[in-house]
Amino acid sequence: MDVLNVGYGNLVSAARIVAVLQPGSSPVKRLREEAAKTGRLLDATQGRRTRSVVVLDSDHVVLSAVQAQTLALRMNGDEVER
């Protein structure tokens, strides 16, 4: 099973990812709020600023402190983990 490091040792199953989004738009903010209301919001930012929002096929929403572009590179295997 392939996993994606969404920052600070937090891992998400790569096969379950539907979208990786920028957090600034109104629709993404509404998605985040709705997920929080229904208990589907997972905060993997370790208290840092949210830089991307990962949507899973289970309708869970994961907040990440890693840029969406960096997560895309990690998914494609183009970035070396340190």
Domain residue extents for the chain: 3-76
Rounded Cα distance, 37 and 46, in Å: 20
Q: Does 80 score more than 80 pLDDT?
A: no
Tell me what pLDDT residue 79 has. 64
Rounded Cα distance, 31 and 82, in Å: 32
80 three-state secondary structure: coil
62-77 mean pLDDT: 94
Report whether 61 contacts 40 (CB < 8 A). Answer: yes
Q: Which residue has the higher pLDDT, 33 or 81?
A: 33
Q: What is the pTM of this model?
A: 0.92
Q: Give the pLDDT confidence of 5-45 residue by residue, as tens digits.
A: 999 999 999 999 999 999 999 999 999 999 999 999 999 99
61, containing H or E segment: strand 61-64
Length of the chain: 82
